[in-house]
Structure 1
Amino acid sequence: MCLRVERRSSSVHGSHDNPAQEGRDQLEVRPGGMLVQMRVSSGTEHQNLAQVTNIRVKVKRGPACHEVLISPQASFGELKKKLAEPTGLHHEDQKLIYKKRERGSKQYLDVAGVTDGSKIVLVEDVLGRERRCLEMLKKVQREKASKTLEGSSSELDKMSEKVLALKKVASEGGKVESMDVEKLIDALMKLYIKLDSLVVQGDLNLQKRLQVRKTQEHIEMLDALKLKSPLGQSTKPTKTKQAEKKQVKFKGLMPGTHQAPRNSDPVVVTTKWETFE
């Protein structure tokens, strides 16, 4: 075994010493003693990739023609992004046709056979544009609905504190102002209508259902509070009918006022005076 290792090592050293072996592929010894070809460094690979020259393709859209300088190893999707600025079309609204075939965004130029000076036709994708606009509209509606739910959630939390405070006062035997209860019920009803008219999907729909259920529970709690606990008046009471009757009766007894008897005939007043001698 020792002789074999020495021979291998001597042969390796001999290959390095021999100038005739300089042009051949260099060998390296692995830790196990196996002779293999020396691996190419990663720097050399990057250098080879950098030597790839760009190509110039002509993209025709109607009467206009655009020349784009791009790498042959690029994809058609990258070419669409380069064409977005000069053509004014979003890259998702473009169709690229090469050799009478539409090319996908993930397909590569060199694989499709695109070379320097190749001609590509650009067509607007109407359906793709409509699809993208619908997706953008859904995104905007979702963001708007999300903000609405966030605002209603904070508003509902504030009203929940008021409801619990009124319930605590009633449970301790105190009087709850009827005006406060009515205002709170009115605010909760408005919030309920607002949530009910909101159109959402997915996770937002679950948030909406939870808020609607919580709003309903608060309204039912306040209705029960109105029936079970005594409610006070928050404003001064107005004149009752009995007070108005007393006031009318008092006016009839004031001097200078005349009150006709109920079952008497009507009195006729004339301006002819009768004189007696």
Structure 2
Amino acid sequence: MMRGSGYDGGSRGVKTDPPVELEWEMRPGGMLVQRRLLDPGTQPPPMIRLRICYGESKFEVSVGRRATFRELKKELEAETCLRQAEQRVIYRGKERENEEFLDRCGVKDRSKLVVMEDPSSRERRYIEMRRNAKIQSSALAIAALSLEVDKYAAQVSAIEKSISSRKKVPELQITTLIELLMRQAVKLDGIVAEGDTSFQKTLLAKRVQKCVEALDVLKLSNGKLKTVIVTTKWETFDLPSTTNLELF
């Protein structure tokens, strides 16, 4: 018994073309489309020039005739400064989907297409710009506070050195420094930060807390020291009597 493969309906002697096995490919975005295969030895699809209108700008781009609109959008990124998701490509009065092929939509060499910015993407970019501005403002504020904390940290080190040397420090100096550090902590708490700036804010807050805790300990140690009063005792000499002076 002969197989029907390669024959028309299994008929004897009637030879037909072998069945064509369709191949599929996954396009960006998750859409499954039929793969376009080129016969061995054939040239790649020719390039076509497309006239693009984007606002008041007009320019041309070159793409493959069998490219998709997604691939066209990739070529348009450099000219429009818009990402693919931000572009809307209009051809013959209709917005085209990413997975549509140019040639199947009738796009030919020198065809005119209109590119528009997606309104939703414009709003997202505006929100992102405002967000970046806030982040930059927060970063500058944290940097300014960090410089102030550097000065106070140096004073804490100086006080610690004095007390370690058994030199009593005026208590007002310690309490004033604690108050100044607490003010910086309040200012830092009022800064809205996110991302890297949030991390920097956390580090600076820990540093301020560490300085305050160190001053609390130094305040107790300083209270146990006695104030050293330096006095000068002059040696006195008895003046010679008048009688003795006359002998000379």
TM category (shorter chain) comes to: 0.5 to 0.7
1:1-277 alignment, distance < 5 Å: 55-57=49-51, 59=53, 67-73=58-64, 75-79=72-76, 81-82=78-79, 84=80, 91-92=82-83, 94-98=87-91, 100-104=94-98, 114-230=107-223
Distance 1:58 1:181 in 2: 71
1:66-85 per-position Cα deviation (integer Å, ceiling 9, x unaligned): 65322133722433653x4x
What is the CA–CA distance in structure 2 between the aligned matches of 1:163 and 1:118, rounded to whole Å? Answer: 74
- Contact 1:57–1:117 (8 Å) recurs in 2: yes
User: Once the two structures are superposed, what CA deviation does each residue of 1:217-248 show, in whole Å capped at 9, x if it has no partner?
Assistant: 2223323433442499xxxxxxxxxxxxxxxx
- Structure 2 unaligned segments of length 5 or more: list them: 1-42, 65-70, 227-248
Aligned length: 175
- CA distance in 1: counterparts of 2:152 and 2:104, whole angstroms: 65
Pair member with larger Rg: 1
Secondary structure, counterpart of 1:71 in structure 2? strand
Identical counterparts, % of pairs: 31
Change (3 A) 1:110 1:199: farther
2:49–2:110: 8 Å Cα contact kept in structure 1?
yes
5+ residue gaps, structure 1 = 1-47, 85-89, 233-277
Aligned-partner residue type, residue 96 of structure 2: E
* One-letter amino acid of the structure 2 residue matched with residue 96 of structure 1: V
Q: Letter of the 2:166 partner, please give it.
A: G
Q: CA distance change for structure 1 residues 206 and 123 in 2, over 3 Å: closer, same or farther?
A: closer
- 2:61 partner letter: I
TM-aligned CA distance change 1:166 to 1:152, over 3 Å: same
| Alpha-carbon distance in structure 2 between the residues aligned to 1:110 and 1:184 | 76
The CA RMSD measured in Å over matched residues stands at 3.7
1:112 CA displacement: 6.2
Task: Give the TM-score taking structure 2 as reference length.
Answer: 0.55
Deviation at 1:151, TM superposition (A): 3.6
